Amino acid sequence: NAGVTQTPKFQVLKTGQSMTLQCAQDMNHEYMSWYRQDPGMGLRLIHYSVGAGITDQGEVPNGYNVSRSTTEDFPLRLLSAAPSQTSVYFCATLRGSTEAFFGQGTRLTVV
């Protein structure tokens, strides 16, 4: 039982490149979300999904796309990377309306 698994753990991109951050869970949780963590700003919600085929925007969605074709996977796509997207990204699932389970994080640097 791996919980929430994110790949990669580290990534360096050049400005303008695109990439996909992967998130997979084996807990059968309907709710999945992506957060970014920046110093002094806590965790800010990018996009979330309440089930397969359903996604919605969070607080800071610009520059990111998501899709949810299965319960298990919730990839985050950066369309054209910018230095402002340098951050630590966390994928999380929610058990019911309570506890959030986070992946180990992806540290992204855009140069």
Partner 1 sequence: GENVEQHPSTLSVQEGDSAVIKCTYSDSASNYFPWYKQELGKRPQLIIDIRSNVGEKKDQRIAVTLNKTAKHFSLHITETQPEDSAVYFCAASTSDYKLSFGAGTTVTVRA
- Euclidean distance between CA atoms 71 and 49, whole angstroms: 10
C-beta of 59: minimal distance to partner 1 in Å? 7
Residues in binding contact with partner 1, number by CB under 8 A: 23
- Give every CB contact of residue 104 below 8 A, 6+ residues apart in sequence: 5, 6, 9
Question: Does residue 26 touch partner 1 according to CB under 8 A?
Answer: no
The residue (of 17 and 27) whose beta carbon lies closer to partner 1 is: 27
Question: Does residue 54 touch partner 1 according to CB under 8 A?
Answer: no
Question: Does residue 34 touch partner 1 according to CB under 8 A?
Answer: no
Question: Does residue 27 touch partner 1 according to CB under 8 A?
Answer: no
C-beta of 87: minimal distance to partner 1 in Å? 14
Sign of the four-CA dihedral 26, 28, 34, 35: negative
For every residue of 56-109, DSSP letters joined together read EE-SS-TTEEE--SSSSB--EEESS--GGG-EEEEEEEESTTS-EEE---EEEE
Sole binder of partner 1 in the list 90, 106, 108, 110 (CB under 8 A): 90
Contact residues for partner 1 (CB under 8 A)?
31, 33, 35, 40-45, 48, 50, 58-59, 90, 94, 97-100, 102-105
